[in-house]
Amino acid sequence: DGGITQSPKYLFRKEGQNVTLSCEQNLNHDAMYWYRQDPGQGLRLIYYSQIVNDFQKGDIAEGYSVSREKKESFPLTVTSAQKNPTAFYLCASTFIGDGRQPQHFGDGTRLSIL
Amino acid sequence: EDKVVQSPLSLVVHEGDTVTLNCSYEVTNFRSLLWYKQEKKAPTFLFMLTSSGIEKKSGRLSSILDKKELFSILNITATQTGDSAVYLCAVSSGAGSYQLTFGKGTKLSVIP
């Protein structure tokens, strides 16, 4: 089945630790995105990538890093510089084309601090 | 800065009621407005609206866009408990960036 797979579903981070969230898609989508969702805050864009080996910062990129070495994969690293990492992280992807395609989402990773 | 405002933020209705959710926006270079439904995990796509006055419909859900007044509404008729979710409105803007700006969502609770 085609879709977007995020793993793990739940993740715990210790102080000073970097953690990496996985996002894989087999939809042949060009663009991939990472969002953070906090209660009552809606979704906020962290990073996005429209082609392999290229990515741009979103509104809240500080404390996060990404890579896009393959079209189907867009992992997000939450670094120790992110002081408030507890949130629900959502990965999305879409075709670029005419800009009229919706973004589709994975099931998310819930990150908490130990 | 692009801005999307949804109202109300939460709503409780009884099964069978009709509800209207609102989304207003202020963005540069508007491309499209999207509605998503989020239950516990992934937001699922409902509608994409690009032209004013054309209603999009799917079963009991419908939506329309007013590009002059910069808002959209999402209607749900004959609500069911399965409609309980957070409904997210997002706007795509800017040339070539394909980014979405989301509102905070409307939490709908449908009680039997």
Lowest mean pLDDT segment, chosen from A77-86, A98-107, B27-36, B75-84: A98-107
A40 versus B87: the higher-pLDDT residue is B87
- Name B45's Cβ contacts closer than 8 Å, sequence gap at least 6: A102, A103, A104, B34, B36
Mean pLDDT of chain A: 93
Nearest Cβ partner for B34 among A42, A102, A108: A102
A73 in reach of chain B (CB within 8 A): no
Q: Residue A15: what pLDDT?
A: 83
Assess whether pLDDT exceeds 70 at residue A1: no
Chain A residues touching B23 at Cβ < 8 A: none
Both tokens of B39, joined, read 């239950």
In whole angstroms, give the CA distance from residue A96 to residue A7: 25
Indicate the DSSP class of residue B17. Answer: -
Q: Is B88–A43 a contact, with Cβ atoms under 8 angstroms apart?
A: yes
- Name B82's Cβ contacts closer than 8 Å, sequence gap at least 6: B110
Distances (CA, A) of A48 to A60, A75, A100, B14: 11, 11, 17, 40
SS3 B41: coil
A97 in reach of chain B (CB within 8 A): no
pLDDT in tens, A15-71: 889 999 999 999 999 999 999 999 888 899 999 999 999 999 999 999 999 999 999
What is the average pLDDT across B89-95? Answer: 83
